[in-house]
Amino acid sequence: MKFITKTLGGAVLLACLGGVEASAQTQAEETRATRSRFQVGGYAEVAYTRNFYSDNVYKYQPSHVKSDRKNHGRFDIPHAVVYLSYDFGKGWKMGSEIEFEHGGSGAAYEKETEEGGEWEQETEKGGEVELEQLWIQKTFWPELNVKIGHIVVPIGLTNAHHEPTEYFTVYRPEGEATIFPCTWHQTGVSLWGRHGAWRYEAQFLAGLDALQFSAANWIQGGTKSPYEFDVANKYAVAARVDNYSVPGLRLGLSAYYGHSINNTYETMTGSHYQVKGAVAIGSFDFHYDAHNWVVRGSLDYGHLSDADHINAINVNQPTNSPNARSHVGDQAVAFGAEAGYDFFSQIKKLREKAQRMYLFARYEYYDSYRPATGATTDYPYTEKHRLAVGLNYYPIPEVVIKGEFSHRFLHSQYNDEPSVSLGVAYAGFFTK
């Protein structure tokens, strides 16, 4: 906890000194100040995966037969996003981002692993259509901008840089995408700016909902309200600072702190609801792009206070409750690093055509459930190592074709999880 407190304090202090925008969308918009006031852009991914392990809902339970290695395949459209922005002039700008996940809306059924394989219908969720961003911004100086509305929370590497051209793997980096909301977006107020080699962002947001936390995904579900509105009984702060002093290198530090208990539709009473359920997160990330190499990495640590109280609340929710009804750990961690080399840089004709081909490798370690002291429930399958190798081909800067082989390593009582994935993606603006 001392580590988190120091990290948060450092991030807030640095946030007063310099700046970073919340997303690559914002960065791209800054470079287009002389272009059309109305801009349209976006990104999308189409992916195919063959998983060489069982999709049995009981695969992580002791009763599961370890020799069961049935494989399965799937096509998916993880994300399809449209950016719309308009510069009104005199420093006023609006921006929006509409995201279609997994092909859009509809009705679907899924098996809940944490509920013994019970079938559950997702109402209007065959995919999702989400308003990921909707904000109004006032620019006073390059060092001070105020953004109000629904905004990206730039905690960790993936949330701050989530376009598919900004990571090598077919899907978003697994560790951060498991323990955090990804892309993390909430309604609030943001102050951001830039000065010299520094960029900063500081945010005031609605808090998370502890009733949506889970063992498999830690706080990931805490931003998703089952209601037509987001409850804001509790509040949170977030901050991010990036430094660009070294050519080709960006160093980033981000932090989050907020309360999560009693941030629900109905104000509840009782001893459990007198505690805070404080979520504290510290994250460091970096990006290096020079000499035909791209190297990225991140380290994330999160702590949840009063996890024992939250567990007692969650597991006793009624069966028809829209809440997770899952245990949650008091800690979560994720580490990931990847490196790729553009070997087309050694071929003159391809280099002149601005084509790139990266051979890459990625390693990740993450654990979404580290039980609180004295907890009797454990989920060893939440601790995973993952290794991926593959290729990224850029025929043009805005389009990438990806292929990878990955292997997820679990504790010895479980089957490991190898897979092969192929994908194609784009990211860019469509207007000039």
The per-residue DSSP string of 173-236 comes to -HHHHHHS-TT-EEEEEEEEEEETTEEEEEEEEEPP-GGG-BTTTBTGGGG--SSSS---SSEE
Q: To which residue do tokens 């784009």 refer?
A: 426
Q: What is the pTM of this model?
A: 0.86
Q: Residue 131 forms beta bridges with which residues? A: 98
Q: For the chain, 432 residues long, give each residue's pLDDT as a single digit of tens.
A: 444 444 444 443 443 333 334 444 455 445 444 567 999 999 999 999 999 998 877 788 766 656 666 889 999 999 999 999 999 999 999 999 999 988 766 555 555 555 555 545 454 445 678 889 999 999 999 999 999 999 999 999 999 999 999 999 999 999 999 999 999 999 999 999 999 999 999 999 999 999 899 999 999 999 987 777 888 899 999 999 999 999 999 999 999 999 998 888 766 666 666 789 999 999 999 999 999 999 999 999 999 999 888 888 887 777 666 777 788 999 999 999 999 999 999 999 999 999 999 999 999 999 999 987 767 788 899 999 999 999 999 999 999 999 999 999 999 888 899 999 999 999 999 987
Provide the phi-psi class of 397: left if phi over 0, else alpha when psi is between -120 and 50, else beta.
alpha
Rounded to 5°, angle at Cα 50 from 422 and 43: 35
CA distance 52 to 12: 45
- Kindly list the structural domains of the chain, giving each domain's residue range(s) and its CATH number in brackets, ordered by start: 2-429 (2.40.160.10)
> Position 258: which residue type?
G
> Tokens 């109004």 label which residue?
136
Residue 134 buriedness (CB in 10 A; 0-12 / 13-18 / 19+): middle
Bridge partners (DSSP) of residue 196 are none
